[in-house]
Structure 1
Amino acid sequence: MNSSDLALPSGINWKEFACGWGAAFINVTVTYPINKLIFRQMLHGVKVGQAFSQLRSEGLFYLYRGMLPPLCQKTCSLSIMFGVYEEVRRPLLEIGFNEYTAKALGALVSGTTEAILMPFERIQTLLADAKYHKDLKNTLHAFQVVRSYGFGEYYRGLTPILLRNGPSNVGFFIVRDEVQRRMPRYENEFVRSLTEFMCGAMIGVVLSSICYPLNVLKIAMQSKVGGAYENPFVVLLRIYRERGGKIRYIYHGVQTNCTRAFLSWGVMNTAYEHLKEVVYA
């Protein structure tokens, strides 16, 4: 079912917000260990085997350390992503905007709005970094430490997040709707779930691969606390030089990232579609 085909009530459509929240909750609980593996590759520029060895040597306790911030951030973020998108897209269509223009503007607004949740992403970065294991006791303590440097410290690395969120949302919503329009509607529940999974998974792999350097840049900028705020271009150039002056080294971890994106976006899209069937029933 395409969200554009639903008969929506007047006022705010809380159902889209609820479906997005639920899909994110399921997604994060399933994929967090893979996300942490990719994080280590992004931060240190190491191969998957080395990153895995780091996590294994630290033990199970530290494997799930830092999951609360992304759980809070992702549930709220996907709730905003689907909810705000629909709240912007629908009125634009009603006043005569072109369908694709309305979708693009709705996606850009929702992606930009998601950036208000950046403090959770900021804290996740610090908690997942091994060098802060002894300095930051837990999520609350990390928030307190970062806050001591000023409120703006929560938003260190904002530029790559803004460059990532808006365009990736545009790609997701437009491509997803186009695929769903052309995809046959299967009666078999398993087959339908599989096609929903593959739809989200393939879109996720493409978009996350395109945005991968922005995530590397974001993590590099957020892996420090205090000090001057650096120009994103300067940081990216430094990463390039530190990794041997080869662009492919900036993509260390992209293979694991594709695996994570395949699973994460597939789970998210399938969960969203099933929750939507329940909520709109």
Structure 2
Amino acid sequence: MCQKGVLISFLLSSVMAGSTNGKQDEQALRDPVVHFRSYLYGGTSGLLSTIPTLIVFPVYKTVFRQQIHNTTVHQAVGQLYREGFVKLYRGVAPPLLMRTLNGTLLFGMQDTLLCQLSLSSQNVIPISALPALAGMGAGVVEALVFTPFERVQNVLQNGQNDRHLPTLKSVLIRLKSQGAVSGYYRGFLPITARNTLGSALYFGLKGPMCSFVAGQGLSPVASSFVSGTLTSMAISLTLYPLSVLVANMQTQVGGEVKGVMACWRMLWKSRQQSVALLYRGGSLVILRSCITWGITTAIYDKHVRPSEKLDNKK
């Protein structure tokens, strides 16, 4: 009887401990401080990554000219050289602002959605799929917020708009006069497709990739950098045609407004139905992704790790 009593007491204490741990985990998921950290760390990583964004902006602008004019690297660089150094950084303000806000929104929103999905899924959705699903939702919000930024950036970067739209203010006024859909939200559908797929792949692959790289003996920071680099490289190459489509849809102001499929057919025809021509500038996109997203991932993960250890101790 004594042994049975001890056994029953042990089982009861185990159940109560498990229940307590479950409540603590659920409480941690609902803790607003945990969510705030994700927004803060995401914004910090985005802000710090604006430095390499500023450095590699000429590279990005070279890629942009290849996307809209179907030129070689040499021809695109020649265009920028003839326009002069002053105009080289025309259009840099929107991406700099976007990098900071993008990190805040993307990482914070993904973490918020991930916590909500973890609480509500009740084992219906595999745990391994939750980061990607939350990333997809964050990508939709990202597209809603940042499509106007991307639209303004693409208009400013197109050298053909320099004469009749010489300043940021003139661009904003012109786009406002065209209405929300044709003005600021031109190209919203392909941007949404690109951002949702890209965010889902990034958050779905980042963890497993980082674990794999860490298993090769690299430090945590190096593992995060390499995983962010490889993941963003794969995403950039996969979704590059959508970026080309967006650039060609958003660069023009005024004229006939065509749908996504009509714009895609025009783009495909202008590239002589060649995948190689469609991917012009793709190698430079890899370079840009290696620098920006590798650094962003490393900075974010470095901030998150101490917080996770502190939460686990609690």
TM-score, with structure 1 as normaliser: 0.89
Q: Map 1:89-100; keep pairs closer than 5 Å.
A: 89-95=114-120, 96=122, 97-100=125-128
In structure 2, the partner of 1:147 is 176
Q: Map 1:104-123; keep pairs closer than 5 Å.
A: 104-116=132-144, 117-123=146-152
Instruction: Report the alpha carbon displacement of residue 218 of structure 1 after superposing the two structures with TM.
Output: 0.4
Instruction: Report the alpha carbon displacement of residue 140 of structure 1 after superposing the two structures with TM.
Output: 2.9
Instruction: Report the alpha carbon displacement of residue 207 of structure 1 after superposing the two structures with TM.
Output: 0.3
Aligned length: 274
Instruction: Report the alpha carbon displacement of residue 259 of structure 1 after superposing the two structures with TM.
Output: 1.4
User: Are the structure 2 counterparts of residues 139 and 236 from structure 1 closer, same or farther at C-alpha, using a change threshold of 3 Å?
Assistant: same
In structure 1, the partner of 2:295 is 267
Instruction: Report the alpha carbon displacement of residue 158 of structure 1 after superposing the two structures with TM.
Output: 0.7
In structure 1, the partner of 2:78 is 53
**Are the counterparts in 1 of residues 43 and 103 from structure 2 also a CA contact under 8 Å?**
yes
**Are the counterparts in 2 of residues 42 and 253 from structure 1 also a CA contact under 8 Å?**
yes
Instruction: Report the alpha carbon displacement of residue 126 of structure 1 after superposing the two structures with TM.
Output: 0.5
In structure 2, the partner of 1:165 is 195
In structure 2, the partner of 1:203 is 231
In structure 2, the partner of 1:26 is 48
User: Are the structure 2 counterparts of residues 124 and 144 from structure 1 closer, same or farther at C-alpha, using a change threshold of 3 Å?
Assistant: same
**Are the counterparts in 2 of residues 186 and 192 from structure 1 also a CA contact under 8 Å?**
no
Could you say which structure has the higher helix fraction?
2
Q: Map 1:128-143; keep pairs closer than 5 Å.
A: 128-143=157-172
**Are the counterparts in 2 of residues 88 and 102 from structure 1 also a CA contact under 8 Å?**
no
**Are the counterparts in 1 of residues 129 and 204 from structure 2 also a CA contact under 8 Å?**
no
The worse-fitting range, judged by mean Cα deviation, of 96-105 and 10-19 is 96-105
**1:232 partner letter:** V
Report the Cα distance in structure 1 between the residues aligned to 2:97 and 2:288, rounded to whole angstroms.
19
**2:41 partner letter:** C
Q: 1:14 aligns with which of 15, 18, 36?
A: 36
**1:51 partner letter:** A
After superposition, the CA RMSD in angstroms is 2.3
Report the Cα distance in structure 2 between the residues aligned to 1:76 and 1:278, rounded to whole angstroms.
23
Q: 2:156 aligns with which of 122, 127, 133?
A: 127
In structure 2, the partner of 1:234 is 262
Report the Cα distance in structure 1 between the residues aligned to 2:286 and 2:198, rounded to whole angstroms.
15
Q: 1:194 aligns with which of 196, 210, 222?
A: 222
**Are the counterparts in 1 of residues 214 and 220 from structure 2 also a CA contact under 8 Å?**
no
In structure 2, the partner of 1:175 is 205
Q: 2:109 aligns with which of 70, 84, 90?
A: 84
Instruction: Report the alpha carbon displacement of residue 24 of structure 1 after superposing the two structures with TM.
Output: 1.9
**1:33 partner letter:** P
Identity among equivalent pairs (%): 26
User: Are the structure 2 counterparts of residues 221 and 25 from structure 1 closer, same or farther at C-alpha, using a change threshold of 3 Å?
Assistant: same
User: Are the structure 2 counterparts of residues 120 and 249 from structure 1 closer, same or farther at C-alpha, using a change threshold of 3 Å?
Assistant: same
SS in 2 for 1:245: coil
User: Are the structure 2 counterparts of residues 86 and 243 from structure 1 closer, same or farther at C-alpha, using a change threshold of 3 Å?
Assistant: same
**Are the counterparts in 2 of residues 111 and 162 from structure 1 also a CA contact under 8 Å?**
yes
User: Are the structure 2 counterparts of residues 135 and 18 from structure 1 closer, same or farther at C-alpha, using a change threshold of 3 Å?
Assistant: farther
**Are the counterparts in 1 of residues 210 and 226 from structure 2 also a CA contact under 8 Å?**
no
Report the Cα distance in structure 2 between the residues aligned to 1:107 and 1:71, rounded to whole angstroms.
22
Deviation by residue 1:176-211 (Cα, 9 ceiling, x = unmatched): 0112233438998xx443332211111111100000
**Are the counterparts in 2 of residues 103 and 173 from structure 1 also a CA contact under 8 Å?**
yes
| Structure 1 residue ranges without an equivalent (≥5) | none
Q: 1:156 aligns with which of 166, 171, 186?
A: 186
Q: 1:66 aligns with which of 88, 91, 94?
A: 91
Instruction: Report the alpha carbon displacement of residue 103 of structure 1 after superposing the two structures with TM.
Output: 1.8
User: Are the structure 2 counterparts of residues 278 and 126 from structure 1 closer, same or farther at C-alpha, using a change threshold of 3 Å?
Assistant: farther
Q: Which of 1 and 2 has higher RCO (CA within 8 Å, sep 6+)?
A: 1
The worse-fitting range, judged by mean Cα deviation, of 263-272 and 146-155 is 263-272
In structure 1, the partner of 2:9 is none
TM-score, with structure 2 as normaliser: 0.80
SS in 1 for 2:288: helix
Instruction: Report the alpha carbon displacement of residue 161 of structure 1 after superposing the two structures with TM.
Output: 0.4
